Chain A
């Protein structure tokens, strides 16, 4: 018995040794990306400590004096911070409601297109806006939607209607913001769903056909369940981003008259923190944002697992 187990241990050890002998170079290669993450991601992260300090750019993060929670207090006491938090959440939730289901629907529709060439052309056309920067899109939006010189309003004025303030009225601006975002990203976001759809076993469709399923029933009972896990994962990742917001989109689209609904965390941080050289304040807001995002992400992941999905870890 003991002889047997000793032999087993020896065998295991030699197995491990031979494993390392075979694969050490792969582990060595792993060191480089690891070094990258440590040097450029984790080491800079230590500077987060500036949120508890009175950052002085000439002394550096470590030499600056401690300030406790002053910057958090300052941020939380600021009306603009709460306003930008509200707007960030509002615009992101709106994006989620409009922008999340649309690519799925579009992918399902594209999948049903029989004429492959038309499918490919349509796909290409709807991807294209993704490659335009928000600065260009804001220029296009201006040309189209400006109250007097914009194409749409010129048309309305000439037809005898009142011009519509797409960019100047708060409620209409929100709609413009959401729809421009949809227009830009919807095509791009279908790619991942289309890829998932191609992964569905075609035998399932054949089986469904034999069982007498129609076109719509095939979509409902085969395609949608087939891409369910993809949908859930993307939803979780979107939840993680609910408090994070890109900078260029709101910044390029906002204007003087809609700041009450258009000022979001990223533009608030840029204006008050970076341009005002209050780096500690900026870092405090950023830290808050990251912590809340992490909570959202873990909650969404936990929920997904509860419902029997795989989650992202």
Chain B
């Protein structure tokens, strides 16, 4: 009997412990972590205080790093040549011990949300999602950084002036004007080129057509591709895109936007950075609808949720034209041009710039200089060290090593300018130029624009002239997304839904049957407005500040 009782009691104890563990919230792991850190700090402080006076106390932090998957001979995202280098150098320079926490590049939003909600997010976090940044800020999940600004001097130098808001520093982009609080700092996008239109030059040559210089030229070229499918190879797809019509018809749509729109209309109606509500966008989609009805667009585009099929068809030499990232056709990965040439040896894609608006400008979008946003979670035990880490990454000797590595090993010098050489060994970079580690900046930077552009062109396997042209076209008459220094909150919960609904509505409008376009489009816009867009527009209209 006694034995039974004892057993029963143990069982109940187990139960209560388990129940407590299940019941308590996110504070729990943090507090145990805090204890451990305190003990470690105390121990280390005793040991080091007397020996080195100037060096700050040893601190331990965790840092987010994107994991892009392990295919293609990539290394472990949180334990590799580069992370080892950072660990060693950071300990030496700043007396900080760093541990990396991986977050999938492709699922970064839900994963970061989970880490934040469970209180286990690393001390330095970053994300491309502005709605997440706003949501964490509004719910009190970020450390206020304005008192740390004197520790971010190197970052301030790297970020420089805010090109979108003259007279202000980029580091203060996310400052709340009313209170002066800063909850996150942006990274600088070194290359702001946006989108380009690509066309098969070898097909144009074969049909005796010049490079299109106007929208109609381009349309006629596509019609010629369609009509001469037998000469060009069977199963020709004149124009291809995915269900993300907004991005995959970007420059075309931009050419239809009303060139006389006021800055206020432009900004207020750019809901979640989509242009459906802008004056003139409807005509752009009407044009796409005509293209679709004329058989110029792949009839299956609305079923493509990613680039997989596009890549397959482009490399197979079936696609005449597409709109994509400014250098998409020439990137070493997914290597459209090289892939095409494996199947069609004389195949050639070139960038063109034919879409002119009513003022004759090839108006298009380029990126804002502020890229991803970096923040320190409110439950971080050592925000000071986290801030020092961010600043340390902005030092030229640090980021340039991370981007180019060692001479002879990771790059060679061509006329004094580094050219990255692909490595297969342990020092392979998991992201191009290690952008996932050099978080204060997205892209190469060698101190000035000219050197940087040359280094950039050196990084492609194709003829550098393609890159120079592509860059020229992508930047011609391009405008960055307008920035108004106000704090917005309304979009947060609606962004995902609106994004998907936007894709759906755009696809349906492009696929509308003859004579049905207006009906489909108007229905789409009405639904979009009711699904949160109206609320977002109202907030933007209310908070708009005239910058001129």
A and B co-occur in one complex: yes
**Residues B2-32 near A (CB distance < 8 A):** 4, 7-8, 11, 14-15, 18-19, 22-23, 25-27
Q: Which of B19, B140, B243, B298 is in CB contact (< 8 Å) with A39?
A: B19
**Residues A72-102 near B (CB distance < 8 A):** 79-80
Interface 9-residue window, one of B203-211, B389-397, B504-512: B504-512
Do residues A24 and B4 form an inter-chain contact, with CB atoms below 8 A? yes
**How far is it, in angstroms, between the C-alpha of A63 and the C-alpha of B140 when the chains are bound?**
13
Kindly provide the distance from the CB of A64 to the nearest chain B CB, expressed in whole angstroms: 10
Q: Which of B8, B492, B495, B507 is in CB contact (< 8 Å) with A257?
A: B507
- Within 8 Å CB of B492, what residues of A? 276-277
Q: Which of A58, A255, A276 is in CB contact (< 8 Å) with B141?
A: A58
Q: Which of A31, A35, A146, A256 is in CB contact (< 8 Å) with B508?
A: A256
**Nearest residue in A to B244 (C-beta to C-beta)?**
A256
**How far is it, in angstroms, between the C-alpha of A3 and the C-alpha of B117 when the chains are bound?**
68
**Nearest residue in B to A272 (C-beta to C-beta)?**
B497
- Within 8 Å CB of B378, what residues of A? 58
Do residues A142 and B303 form an inter-chain contact, with CB atoms below 8 A? yes
**How far is it, in angstroms, between the C-alpha of A17 and the C-alpha of B18 when the chains are bound?**
32
* Mask of A269-283 contacts with B, CB within 8 angstroms, 1/0: 001101111100000
**How far is it, in angstroms, between the C-alpha of A233 and the C-alpha of B302 when the chains are bound?**
42
Any B CB within 8 A of the CB of A43 = yes
Any B CB within 8 A of the CB of A308 = no
Q: Which of B113, B500, B507, B530 is in CB contact (< 8 Å) with A277?
A: B113
Any B CB within 8 A of the CB of A284 = no
Do residues A58 and B507 form an inter-chain contact, with CB atoms below 8 A? no
**Nearest residue in B to A78 (C-beta to C-beta)?**
B531
Any B CB within 8 A of the CB of A217 = no
Q: Which of B15, B140, B141, B530 is in CB contact (< 8 Å) with A38?
A: B15
- Within 8 Å CB of B4, what residues of A? 24, 28
- Within 8 Å CB of A58, what residues of B? 26, 116-117, 119, 139-141, 378-379
**How far is it, in angstroms, between the C-alpha of A32 and the C-alpha of B22 when the chains are bound?**
16
Kindly provide the distance from the CB of A289 to the nearest chain B CB, expressed in whole angstroms: 19
Q: Give 10 A-B contacts (CB < 8 Å), ordered by A residue.
A: A38-B19, A57-B141, A58-B117, A58-B140, A147-B300, A148-B299, A255-B303, A257-B507, A276-B493, A276-B496
Any A CB within 8 A of the CB of B110 = yes
Do residues B15 and A28 form an inter-chain contact, with CB atoms below 8 A? no
Do residues A168 and B15 form an inter-chain contact, with CB atoms below 8 A? no
Kindly provide the distance from the CB of A125 to the nearest chain B CB, expressed in whole angstroms: 29
Additional A-B contacts beyond A35-B14, A57-B139, A257-B504 (19; CB < 8 A): A35-B15, A39-B19, A57-B141, A58-B117, A59-B139, A59-B140, A61-B25, A62-B25, A148-B298, A148-B299, A148-B300, A168-B303, A255-B305, A256-B243, A271-B496, A272-B497, A276-B493, A277-B132, A277-B135
Any B CB within 8 A of the CB of A160 = no
- Within 8 Å CB of A28, what residues of B? 4, 7-8, 11
Any A CB within 8 A of the CB of B503 = yes
Kindly provide the distance from the CB of B285 to the nearest chain A CB, expressed in whole angstroms: 14
**How far is it, in angstroms, between the C-alpha of A77 and the C-alpha of B98 when the chains are bound?**
48
Do residues A271 and B27 form an inter-chain contact, with CB atoms below 8 A? no
- Within 8 Å CB of A276, what residues of B? 492-497
- Within 8 Å CB of B503, what residues of A? 256
What is B's interface to A at a CB cutoff of 8 Å?
A: 4, 7-8, 11, 14-15, 18-19, 22-23, 25-27, 109-110, 113, 116-117, 119, 132, 135, 139-141, 243, 298-300, 302-303, 305, 378-379, 492-497, 500-501, 503-504, 507-508, 511, 527, 530-531
Any B CB within 8 A of the CB of A51 = no
Do residues B11 and A31 form an inter-chain contact, with CB atoms below 8 A? yes
**How far is it, in angstroms, between the C-alpha of A149 and the C-alpha of B310 when the chains are bound?**
13
**How far is it, in angstroms, between the C-alpha of A32 and the C-alpha of B11 when the chains are bound?**
8
The answer to whether A43 and B531 touch (CB under 8 A), given A56-B140, A276-B494, is no
- Within 8 Å CB of B113, what residues of A? 57, 277
- Within 8 Å CB of A272, what residues of B? 493, 496-497
Kindly provide the distance from the CB of B337 to the nearest chain A CB, expressed in whole angstroms: 24
**Residues A41-76 near B (CB distance < 8 A):** 43-44, 46, 56-63
Any B CB within 8 A of the CB of A104 = no
Do residues A57 and B116 form an inter-chain contact, with CB atoms below 8 A? yes
**Nearest residue in A to B4 (C-beta to C-beta)?**
A24
**How far is it, in angstroms, between the C-alpha of A25 and the C-alpha of B508 when the chains are bound?**
65
Kindly provide the distance from the CB of B26 to the nearest chain A CB, expressed in whole angstroms: 6
Do residues B141 and A275 form an inter-chain contact, with CB atoms below 8 A? no
Do residues A43 and B26 form an inter-chain contact, with CB atoms below 8 A? no
- Within 8 Å CB of A142, what residues of B? 303
Kindly provide the distance from the CB of B301 to the nearest chain A CB, expressed in whole angstroms: 9
Any B CB within 8 A of the CB of A243 = no
Any B CB within 8 A of the CB of A7 = no
Any B CB within 8 A of the CB of A167 = yes
* Mask of A159-184 contacts with B, CB within 8 angstroms, 1/0: 00000000110000000000000000
Any B CB within 8 A of the CB of A40 = yes
Do residues A256 and B116 form an inter-chain contact, with CB atoms below 8 A? no
Kindly provide the distance from the CB of B232 to the nearest chain A CB, expressed in whole angstroms: 17
- Within 8 Å CB of B530, what residues of A? 79
- Within 8 Å CB of A256, what residues of B? 243, 302, 503-504, 507-508
Chain B CB within 10 Å, residue with most, of A38, A56, A167, A257: A257
- Within 8 Å CB of B298, what residues of A? 148
Q: Which of A38, A43, A59, A147 is in CB contact (< 8 Å) with B299?
A: A147
- Within 8 Å CB of A24, what residues of B? 4
Any B CB within 8 A of the CB of A259 = yes
Do residues A274 and B110 form an inter-chain contact, with CB atoms below 8 A? yes
**How far is it, in angstroms, between the C-alpha of A80 and the C-alpha of B23 when the chains are bound?**
34
- Within 8 Å CB of B139, what residues of A? 56-59
- Within 8 Å CB of B22, what residues of A? 39-40, 43-44
Do residues B23 and A43 form an inter-chain contact, with CB atoms below 8 A? yes
**How far is it, in angstroms, between the C-alpha of A256 and the C-alpha of B507 when the chains are bound?**
6
**Nearest residue in B to A20 (C-beta to C-beta)?**
B4
**How far is it, in angstroms, between the C-alpha of A58 and the C-alpha of B511 when the chains are bound?**
44
Nearest first, the 3 A-B pairs at minimum CB distance are A60-B25, A256-B507, A275-B496
**How far is it, in angstroms, between the C-alpha of A56 and the C-alpha of B22 when the chains are bound?**
18
Do residues A257 and B511 form an inter-chain contact, with CB atoms below 8 A? yes
The answer to whether A257 and B14 touch (CB under 8 A), given A24-B4, A271-B496, A275-B496, is no
The answer to whether A255 and B116 touch (CB under 8 A), given A38-B19, A39-B15, A60-B26, is no
Kindly provide the distance from the CB of B107 to the nearest chain A CB, expressed in whole angstroms: 11
**Nearest residue in B to A271 (C-beta to C-beta)?**
B497
**Nearest residue in A to B377 (C-beta to C-beta)?**
A58
- Within 8 Å CB of B495, what residues of A? 276
Kindly provide the distance from the CB of A132 to the nearest chain B CB, expressed in whole angstroms: 20
Kindly provide the distance from the CB of A28 to the nearest chain B CB, expressed in whole angstroms: 6
Do residues A35 and B18 form an inter-chain contact, with CB atoms below 8 A? yes
**Nearest residue in B to A43 (C-beta to C-beta)?**
B22
Do residues B140 and A146 form an inter-chain contact, with CB atoms below 8 A? no
- Within 8 Å CB of B531, what residues of A? 80
* Mask of A239-276 contacts with B, CB within 8 angstroms, 1/0: 00000000000000001110100000000000110111
**How far is it, in angstroms, between the C-alpha of A35 and the C-alpha of B14 when the chains are bound?**
9
**How far is it, in angstroms, between the C-alpha of A28 and the C-alpha of B11 when the chains are bound?**
9
- Within 8 Å CB of B119, what residues of A? 58
